[in-house]
Amino acid sequence: MRELFLLFLVIAAGTGGELCVSRAMKSVGEVHDFRPAELARFVSRVVRVGWMWIGIAQMTLAFFSLLAMLSMENVTFVVPITALSYAAGSIGATLFLREHISRQRWVGVLIVCLGVTLVWLSRL
C-alpha cells in the first residue's frame, strides 16, 4: 500500500510540477537575449511567478517520493512504472494548459500504458 501511495506521489506531483512550471514559463515568455544582465532580468521575472514555486514544490515532493520508492523496490520496476507520468502529462496538458494533442500522440501514450501494464503484471 505504501508503494502505491509513493507511486501516486511520484506521478501526480512530478507531472503537476511540470505542468505548473510550463504554465509559469509560458507567462514569462522565451529567452531571446543571453547576455548576463538580460538573463538576470529574465530570472527576476521568473521567480515572481507563483506557478513556478508551486511547480518546484511539487517536483521536490516527487523527487523525494521517488527516492523512497527506490529504497523499497527494484529500479527495473520503479522506472518503467513511473512512465505513467506520460499519460498524466498528456491529460494534464489537455485540461490544465489547453494544449491540443494529436491522435498519434494519444496512440503513443496508449502504447506506454500497455508497457507499464506488462511491467506491473510481471510483479504478480
* Type of residue at 119: V
Query: CA 83 → CA 14, 54, 110, 112, distances in Å?
Result: 11, 22, 11, 7
Mean pLDDT taken over the chain: 95
The pTM for the full model equals 0.89
Cα–Cα distance for residue pair 85/105, rounded to 1 Å: 14
Cβ atoms of 116 and 84 within 8 Å: the answer is: yes
pLDDT in tens, 25-59: 999 999 999 999 999 999 999 999 999 999 999 99
Cβ atoms of 116 and 110 within 8 Å: the answer is: no
For 21, counting Cβ atoms within 10 Å of its Cβ (0-12 exposed, 13-18 middle, 19+ buried), the class is buried
- Cβ neighbors of 61 (< 8 A, separation 6 or more) are 9, 13, 17
User: How sure is the predictor about 123, in pLDDT bands with cuts at 50, 70 and 90?
Assistant: confident
Say what the pLDDT of residue 1 is. 87
What cell numbers appear for 93 in the block? 496538458
Q: Where do the structural domains in the chain lie, given as residue ranges?
A: 2-123
CA 30, 34, 35, 41 torsion-angle sign: positive
